[in-house]
Structure 1
């Protein structure tokens, strides 16, 4: 008896074409192409059981959710599901590509920390003025530093592994304690004593505004805040005040608001390095995301709960 193919809707954009090939290898799957910019699905597309938002600007197809007749799963290519959680209908599985981003994002974190410690922003400004800046700046070393990592998932643990190579030690914090990882309740006692604080947690009701004025006040003088998670985890106004005073430094891949307006005061802070939500954006990351997505969808088709499934309303 033939098993009917499950229709999986996959973006037709260039970054998503790799997914067509990977998903077509699954048994009993029909890959259906779609344009994530359209306002209306075709009759064939609307019968798909699984939707994959595009690799870039994945929120675009949210408006199409109401057009599906039998949607059973939304498989994201991002590490977090916060952009979709409020819109995916109850009863539809929502899964992420958690794990695919660990390498690229942890590499960005290391580059951001080293950029700040070695004073590359200041050096570039000197270079722009053709100034040989010998002994005109104060660099620091990562060796011997302590880093507090908020988030002990794939990205956070990979950041800790890479920091160790440079002679730095890490304190990992997650929502609940486990072997080698502290629970979030211990944060007020452990923030101080770390030269670097790295954010890799997902955005949830509990992490929204977690890094507030009190958290920032507890950070050591001249410490570096590195945000590779979500902008709303940090209270922006409180961060701007600390940066403007010169007491803290920051490296931000995400901000609140995002994109950051042209006239926002974060741009003007000398102790800040900002990248445009691009920590994962290096060649091959899209393939890594689709490889994880294939595993999640395969598990779902076997009747299992995907390991990256996230709770949503």
Structure 2
């Protein structure tokens, strides 16, 4: 029997993890996506499928793994589905860069009105429009965790004023991070409001009608955190009236129904929850899984632990 068994959901990840493992350690990588019975009676480290981990979480009691390594940063609702005695780690270090890239893409696309430009291209219409741009704009960044910090680093070269906001005020990375209690006073000053908050009861509909009403006319909301953080009905109302604009990667509900007004409203850019879906994910998730396996094999504590049931 091997000293440690790792289960991953597909062969590509298995190959990538095997290529990164220390050959001096006795670690076996097997395939399991949760659809069928576990391939071993004992599996030490389980990696559920990306964005579809519910089926596997329901079967963890059959093998009682030492660690479950998720492939996403978010983990809201996971604890309620885990049996007792499970340790769960999220995928911090995997998606921050790609999510920050998409955030800047959404900001720039909206601020330079590429949504209008692309529609004009489809009609072969030459219309050199003026746009708000990003330079000299105030960006209020709601959330200053791993993703928020990655966004802040990428905003440095755009000559915009950055105001990060987190649960508590502090000085970090040479920036003055404001506390969440300051948000009502900051919203009327925001040209761009970026939501990078995690999900959960504490952030649900934090950006409600009152918050959206506090934004100045023409402001842009960019949501790359979680869909339920925003009151969707209130958002639709504000965008429909031309009060504000939105460029969002996450929604409530999700997937966004085909008949939802956000698909067709002027001033709305819809991105289908693809923040972490860049080619950078493949080597980064493999590196993290290999590191976790090696830590367990050496008797060390895993990183990124967010839940212990």
Partner of 1:57: 52
Deviations 1:78-100 (A, max 9, x none): 11112523212233111111122
- Cα shift readout 1:24-65 (whole Å, capped 9, x = no counterpart): 65834322222x2624323x1x42122111235344423322
Q: Residue in 2 aligned with 1:31? A: 29
- CA distance, structure 2, for counterparts of residue 297 and residue 168 of structure 1: 42
What residue is the counterpart of 2:124 in the other structure?
130
Compute the TM-score of the two structures, normalised by the length of structure 1.
0.89
Distance verdict in 2 for CA 1:248–1:301, change over 3 Å: farther
**Is 1:10–2:2 an aligned residue pair?**
no
5+ residue gaps, structure 1:
none
Q: Pick closer, same or farther for the CA change 1:303–1:37 going to 2, 3 Å.
A: closer
Whether the 8 Å contact between 2:21 and 2:294 is mirrored in structure 1 is no
Aligned to 1:182: 178
Structure 1 residue 239 and structure 2 residue 239: aligned?
A: no
Distance 2:204 2:11 in 1: 32
How many Å separate the matches in 2 of 1:192 and 1:311? 37
Q: Secondary structure of the residue that 2:183 maps to in structure 1?
A: helix
Q: Against the structure 1 CA distance between its residues 87 and 138, is the aligned structure 2 distance closer, same or farther, given a 3 Å change threshold?
A: same
* Match for residue 41 of structure 1 among 34, 38, 42: 38
Residues 21-170 of structure 1: matches in 2 within 5 Å?
21-23=19-21, 25=23, 27-34=25-32, 36=33, 38-42=35-39, 44=40, 46-55=41-50, 57-68=52-63, 70-134=64-128, 137-170=129-162
After superposition, the CA RMSD in angstroms is 2.3
The 1:181–1:89 alpha-carbon spacing in structure 2 relative to 1, beyond 3 Å, is farther
| Aligned length in residues | 305
Deviation at 1:228, TM superposition (A): 0.9
**1:283 Cα deviation after fit:** 1.3
Q: Distance in 2 between matches of 1:242 and 1:74?
A: 41
Kindly indicate whether the alpha-carbon contact (under 8 Å) linking 2:70 and 2:88 is maintained by their aligned counterparts in 1: yes
Shift in Å, 1:178: 2.2
Task: Kindly state the Cα deviation for residue 4 of structure 1 after the two structures are TM-superposed.
Answer: 5.7
Residue 208 of structure 1: which of 181, 204, 221 is its match?
Answer: 204
Instruction: Mark the runs of 5 or more structure 2 residues left unpaired by the alignment.
Output: none
Give CA deviations for 1:99-146 in whole Å, capped at 9, x if unaligned.
221211111111111111111111111121111113xx3312211111
Stretch moving more, 170-179 or 251-260: 170-179
Q: Deviations over 1:248-287 (max 9, x none)?
A: 1111111111111111122121111111111221113121
Give the superposition deviation at 1:19.
2.8
Whether the aligned pair in 2 keeps the contact of 1:16 and 1:54 (CA below 8 Å) is no
Q: CA deviation at 1:13?
A: 4.5
Paired with 1:47 and 1:267, the residues of 2 have a C-alpha distance of 47
* Residues 213 and 238 in structure 1, CA contact (< 8 A), matched pair in contact too: yes
For the residues of structure 1 that align with 2:296 and 2:211, how far apart are their CA atoms? 40
Quick one: distance in 2 between partners of 1:195 and 1:90? 46
